[in-house]
Every structure is written in C-alpha cells, then in structure tokens.
Amino acid sequence: MRPDDRKYLSSHEWIKIDGDIGIIGITDFAVQELCSGNESDLVYCDLPEAGRTVDTGETFGEIESVKAVADLNAPLGGEVIEVNAAIEDHLEILADDPWERGWLIKVKLSAKTSDDLIDAAAYEALIAQEA
C-alpha cells in the first residue's frame, strides 16, 4: 500500500499537503516504469528554479531514463519555494526513497484542490490495471 497521507495523479506524481505548502514527488511505480528495476538507467532530472509559478496540471520539469523522457506534472499549482538540490546528482534517491528523501519541489499552494487528485486506494487500483 502506498502512503495514504497524500494524494496522487494518474500520471504518477504525488503531493503531500502541509498547511499552504505542497510537497511534490513521483511514485515508486513511476521510477520502476522508467528504469525497469535498474536504477542506474535514470540519467537526468530537470527541475524548475525556485520562484517560478506553476499551474495545476502544468509540466514543471522532466525526468529521463536511457529509454524514455517523462514530464513531471504539478498536482496543484503555486509558487515553487524550494527544490530538492540533491536529486540532480543523486538520482538513486528516487529509487531508494521516493516518498520522503526523494521529494522534488515544494510549492506555496495557490490552488487547494483539483478533480484530478486521487487517494492512495484509487491510485493502487489504477496501477493494478496498468501493471
């Protein structure tokens, strides 16, 4: 079971809301799909600079493996206030701990909700279909 303290997008991002701050990352399933279990296949992650505003659903960056490039989409919009600087040089963090140490950006939320957000149970059901 994936953590139920947060919401998910069907495109495999998660957001954990703490007051007016949203912490955004990608799921273990996303990492698995990108690198097929070989974490060294992740080669690049492009994240925005702090200060940039992203809209709900907007692409804020991209992650690249040797076989594919995937967009990173914002579950909720707002101003990017912090970026996980460790990720760029240590992509293995995403495979080791996508839920805590593998967060990507923190956003000061301007949107509080979105119809596209689903809970952990719904996300589980979704990936059960995809797998």
Partner 1 sequence: MPFIQNTDADRAEMLAAVGVRSIDELFEQIPAGLRVEQPIDVPEGISENELWAELNELASWNSTAEKGSFLGAGLYRHYIPTVVDSLQGRHEFVTAYTPYQPEASQGTLVAFFEFQSMVAELCGMEVANASMYDGCSAVAEAVLMSTSITRKRKRVVMSAGLHPHSRRTVRTYLGATDLEIIVAPLGADGRTDFDGLIDDQTTAVVVQSPNFYGVIEDQEAVAAAAKDAGAISIASVYPIALGLLKSPGEAGFDIVVGDGQSLGVPTAMGGPSFGIFATRNEYVRKMPGRIVGQTVDGKGRRGFALTFQTREQHIRREKATSNICTNNALMALRGAIYMAAAGPEGLREVAEHCMAKAQYAADAISALDGFELPYAASGFFNEFVVRCPAPAKLVNRAVDAAGMIGGLVISDHVEGIDERDLLIAFTELTTREQIDLLVKTLSSISQTVSVG
| Among positions 46, 88, 97, 100, the unique one binding partner 1 when judged by CB under 8 A | 46
Of 11-19, 21-29, 60-68, 110-118: span binding partner 1 (CB under 8 A): 60-68
At its nearest, how many Å lie between partner 1 and the CB of residue 10? Answer: 18
**Total interface residues for partner 1 by CB under 8 A:** 9
Give the CA distances from residue 28 to residues 49, 89, 97, in Å, rounded to whole numbers and listed in that order.
24, 19, 8
In angstroms and rounded to an integer, the radius of gyration of the C-alpha atoms of the chain is: 14
Q: Using the 8-state DSSP alphabet, how is residue 49 labeled?
A: P
Q: Considering the rule CB under 8 A, would residue 64 count as an interface residue with partner 1?
A: yes
For residues 69 and 85, which CB has a smaller minimum distance to partner 1 in the complex? 69
Whole-number Å distance between alpha carbons of 85 and 45: 11
* Separation between Cα atoms, residue 95 and residue 108, nearest integer Å: 26
Scanning 10-18, 19-27, 67-75, 81-89 for contacts with partner 1 by CB under 8 A, the matching segment is 67-75
